[in-house]
Amino acid sequence: MKVRLDNFCVILYEPHYSENIGAAARCCCNMGIPQLIVVRPCRPESEKMLKMATHEASALIETMPVFDSLEEALAPFHYVVGTTARTGRQRRPTHTLRGLAEKLVGLGIKDRIALLFGPENQGLTNSQLRLCQSLVTIPTAAFSSINLAQSVMIVCYEIFMAASNSKEVVRPRLATTRMLEGMYGHLKEVFLAIGLDNPQNPEYWTTNARRILGRLGLRPREVKLIRGFCRQVLWATKDKRHPGH
């Protein structure tokens, strides 16, 4: 069965155990995911990683980029999927894993897709999940804790199966995470400039903008239009914000 998932990448944020990094690399290799990225790993040991990866996945470990910043690692990707076992008001899953996999396979024809997993002990924080366009939870019975490498395998398996059964549909390329983060920063400036702030929750309006705009799949041109609007608003309110200048 020939499946091409060239634009997919698994990203592990602050993994604690080298064995989990190696096992995740093996999962990627099993399911045709061509790249693994690690952000701020805790004392990574090459020998332990390679042992768990086995010979077949050793190339993923040997060429694995390591970043100090999650924002930097995600910057070139067009669509980011965050995974979490904990749910709540600020971390509601946006899709089922199986349904999302079908969507990702279509996007992955042109767009780079990041599958983001948090540290073993606590997972991704709310602020890290804000960088994601989609959020998924792996359904379980009463005991919801799943080993990191097992989580990677389950997510990658669903994507592999969706790709195996999909018909290729060409879609326009999405804006990258770097473009989107620049836009959200610009929107935050606008909210402050027009007095749309919440002292009890300074990120309230920006977080809601992320939720609304993140579902739209913005293209680069649309991001430029929104930022152009932001520049005009900031210019129009300049005198009010800086009287006497």
Q: What is the pLDDT of residue 91?
A: 57
In the chain, the domains with their CATH numbers are 8-164 (3.40.1280.10), 177-241 (1.10.8.590)
Confidence band for 1, pLDDT divided at 50, 70 and 90: very low
Q: pTM for this structure?
A: 0.79
* pLDDT at residue 173 in the model: 84
**Is the confidence at residue 9, as pLDDT, over 90?**
yes
Answer whether 19's CB lies under 8 Å from 148's CB. Answer: no
Give CA 17 to chain center in angstroms.
21
92: Cα within 13 Å, side-chain hemisphere: 4
Measured CA to CA, the distance from residue 57 to residue 1 in angstroms comes to 19
* pLDDT higher at 171 or 148: 148
Q: What pLDDT is attached to residue 112?
A: 94
pLDDT of residue 90: 59
| Helix orientation angle between 46-53 and 18-31, rounded to the nearest 10 degrees | 30
Between 91 and 81, the more confident residue is: 81
Average pLDDT for 230-238? 87
Tens of pLDDT, residue by residue over 187-210, are: 999 988 888 877 777 788 888 888
Residue 84: per-residue pLDDT: 85
Q: How far apart are CA 71 and CA 172, in angstroms?
A: 24
Among 13-27, 67-81, 83-97, 183-197, the range scoring the smallest mean pLDDT is 83-97
Instruction: For 129-170, write each residue's pLDDT tens digit.
Output: 889 998 898 888 877 778 999 999 999 999 999 998 866 666
